[in-house]
Structure 1
Amino acid sequence: MADLNIRHSEGDSGGRFYVMVEGHEAEMTYSKAGTSVIIIDHTDVPEALGGQGVGLQLVEAGIALARDRGLKIMPLCPFAKAQFDKHPEWKDVLR
Structure 2
Amino acid sequence: MKPELQDLPLLDNTGSHRFELTVNHATAFMEYGDREEALALFHTEVPAQLEGQGVGTALVEKVLAEVEQRHRQLIPLCPFVTAYLKRHPEWQRLVAPAYQRWFAPSQS
Is the shorter-chain TM-score for this pair beyond 0.5, marking a shared fold? yes
Rounded Cα–Cα distance in structure 1 between residues aligned with 2:76 and 2:42: 7
Q: Which one has the bigger helix percentage?
A: 2
Cα distance in structure 1, aligned partners of 2:25 and 2:13: 23
Percent identity of paired positions between Structure 1 and Structure 2: 33
Gaps in structure 2 of 5+ consecutive residues? 97-108
Which of the residues 8, 24, 27 maps onto 1:25?
Answer: 27
| TM-score between both structures, scaled by the size of structure 2 | 0.75
Which structure has greater strand proportion?
Answer: 1
The 3-state SS of whatever aligns with 2:17 is strand
Moved over 6 A (4+): none
Root-mean-square deviation (Å): 1.9
2:13–2:20: 8 Å Cα contact kept in structure 1? no
**Are the equivalent residues in 2 in contact too, given 1:6–1:17 (CA < 8 A)?**
no
2:11 maps to which residue?
A: 8
Q: Secondary structure at the match of 2:67?
A: helix
Alpha-carbon contact 1:4-1:19 (below 8 Å) kept: no
Q: TM-score, normalised by structure 1?
A: 0.84
